[in-house]
Amino acid sequence: MYNANEKVEPINVAEEVSRSFLDYSMSVIISRALPDARDGLKPSQRRILYAMHALSLFPGRKPYKCAKICGDTSGNYHP
């Protein structure tokens, strides 16, 4: 709530939007777009491999269609 003692500071909206967008884009690049140094995988790639493991897709097993893997990954592991 607003108190009479509070001071509202005017801001430049263009500068605030620019700064906020830059902060958000850097966060996305660091957390999602760059591969992890430990295993070289992006989070989305790691989720796909985990879904394939959960479906027991190993070498020598019956192949599955890509749509099944993508749907399973998206449905079960998408944040």
DSSP letters of the chain? ---TT--PPP--HHHHHHHHHHHHHHHHIIIIISPPTTTS--HHHHHHHHHHHHTT--TTSPP--HHHHHHHHHHHH--
Q: How do residues 20-72 score in pLDDT, each as one tens digit?
A: 999 999 988 888 888 888 888 988 899 999 999 999 999 999 888 899 999 99
pLDDT of residue 77: 85
Distance (Å) of CA 12 to CA 15, 17, 23, 49: 5, 9, 17, 45
Give residue 8's pLDDT band: very low, low, confident or very high (50, 70, 90).
confident
Residue 35: phi and psi, rounded to 5, are -65, 150
Question: Domain map of the chain by residue range?
Answer: 13-77
